[in-house]
A and B are shown apart, each in its own frame.
Chain A
């Protein structure tokens, strides 16, 4: 199992993403305006290599197939939303990427590639895969017995990083990226449970970011939050996508429209098994979907 150290991609400056600027956006906050400006001058533009590749992915529990025939490329440093009604396999697919099904008894067939690593190859260590993929869950779940600082550095410490300077630096960077630093910098030693729901979720995002993952998996991260907190996190997602590939599961079409570059639509087929119906740039999925079922789903939820 070899891996190339990531080198900063050298793209021409000013390579802005047409899809992003034309994306549906109901709000143009000062932050998002600044964001797009930042992106325009950002050296690392999306790579040509997809960050994650799924080929003929099929996941079953016991005898029951949850989702099958999923072939999907997740472009690097873009936000790809997995959308669809509940129970169509979006979360199942998400969790297959970082091998979380190893513990839930799910059987995964097909191929998942992270860069050029075969995630499910027999000689691949699941812990190392997970150290390259961050995950944020539906409900904020900071470790209740750790302080805020220990929460953020937990991933680093689990992976054997002991250098105090590095831990401190990574924690601060992660907290800044999660728009949390100013809020918590004076109470890093306090328990994480005193934060509000939205703040706790951002703490979980910081925790996931601290290990410098290539990919950030987000499983309906805003579903337990109020609209204000949701808006903050959506801003965050757009901001983070300049550096990390984000895969976002959401059942909220508006959210997908607001933050994602690409969308993959999951629906149930006739056998009540989840399948990937269509994938493409979000704009196209909304404006000109190719499949009838996509159109039905999208128009049922938007407008």
Chain B
């Protein structure tokens, strides 16, 4: 070891010590690191490639019209994802109709209205809901909710004259409505947790400025807190949509597996995810299986697109970002 003379020597000493430390097991470690990274990349690529390859047969058979063709009838050798995409969008849409008010309302409650001793445990409870396995939610929905829906909920909606067009037809339980409720239950924690973070993140200074002008508590929340949390809330909703699009097993258990145009919310239907679950076992090898895999490909593209958007929004959630401002709307 050289004699220490001046800062330069001290630095080079540190450098030597560091190198010695890092070099211990160095080569093998660097190799392992690269192997892990490479393996991960291989998995990513493999996912896309293998699904693409295995669905090629179906595309060859049905043509590119597979994507929007309205018929899914294995018996007649007709495969089209269109009807399933519609079902996916409808169930997710109805789920969002439920989740947006309930989720935002709950997030507002937790962030703005609840006393601290209540907000903590409640937030934890909602996170626990996120941890419940989807199969358990599906089981509960199938065996507990479905009879309740068939006997009480769906007749109730049917009795409201204004909504008759939405809820007409026989109601046996398994339905688009039930599936949507299941999706709502499963995506609620995402919306509540992220929105709550966004709402709490609004600066105290902005709130106090509004208060000092004579705003009531609710006015502060409506005019300052919610607008300030816009991007975080948007991110949470987008991610929730992404999750809802891909949920398969719970939906498959309660949607009734009927790939036809949904004419009523209480009728059975089918989504991409539920079709994959329900049709896979019976799919005829070759075209049939390939078509089911092609459904997975469509689902993959759909969820990737939505999630990419959601992640981008999450990253843009930082403070101080000037929001796009609407043209002035003075009064009225």
Q: Does A300 contact B (CB under 8 A)?
A: no
Given contacts A149-B328, A154-B223, contact A144 B215 (CB under 8 A): no
Instruction: Name A191's contact: one of B224, B323, B327, B330 (CB within 8 Å).
Output: B323
Residue pair A158, B223 in contact (C-beta under 8 Å) = yes
Contacts of A134 in B (CB 8 A): 212-213
Residue pair A144, B213 in contact (C-beta under 8 Å) = no
Residue pair B211, A100 in contact (C-beta under 8 Å) = yes
A162 to B211, CA, bound (A): 19
Q: Does B174 contact A (CB under 8 A)?
A: no
Contacts of A149 in B (CB 8 A): 328, 330
Q: Does B320 contact A (CB under 8 A)?
A: yes
Residue pair B325, A147 in contact (C-beta under 8 Å) = yes
Per-residue B-contact encoding for A179-207, CB less than 8 Å = 1, 0 else: 00000000011110110000000001001
Which of B206, B209, B326, B329 is most buried by chain A, counting CB atoms within 10 A of its CB? B209
Min CB distance, A5 to chain B, in Å?
Answer: 18
Q: Does B331 contact A (CB under 8 A)?
A: yes
Min CB distance, B209 to chain A, in Å?
Answer: 5
Contacts of B219 in A (CB 8 A): 158
Contacts of A154 in B (CB 8 A): 210, 213, 223
Contacts of A145 in B (CB 8 A): 224, 227-228, 230, 323, 325
Residue pair A130, B214 in contact (C-beta under 8 Å) = yes
Q: Does A141 contact B (CB under 8 A)?
A: yes
Given contacts A145-B227, A145-B230, A193-B320, contact A168 B214 (CB under 8 A): no
Q: Which 6 A-B pairs have the closest CB atoms?
A: A131-B214, A155-B213, A135-B212, A145-B227, A158-B215, A141-B205
* Inter-chain pairs besides A134-B213, A189-B327, 4 sampled, C-beta below 8 Å: A100-B212, A130-B214, A145-B230, A154-B213
CB<8 Å pairs between A and B, sample of 27: A98-B212, A100-B212, A103-B208, A103-B211, A127-B214, A135-B209, A137-B205, A141-B206, A143-B209, A143-B223, A144-B320, A145-B224, A145-B227, A145-B323, A146-B227, A147-B325, A149-B328, A153-B331, A154-B223, A155-B213, A155-B214, A158-B214, A162-B331, A168-B330, A188-B328, A191-B322, A207-B213
Residues of B in contact with A (beta carbons under 8 Å apart): 203, 205-206, 208-216, 219, 223-224, 227-228, 230, 320-323, 325-332
Residues of A in contact with B (beta carbons under 8 Å apart): 98, 100, 103, 127-128, 130-131, 133-135, 137, 139, 141, 143-147, 149-150, 153-155, 157-159, 161-164, 167-168, 188-191, 193-194, 204, 207-208, 211, 217
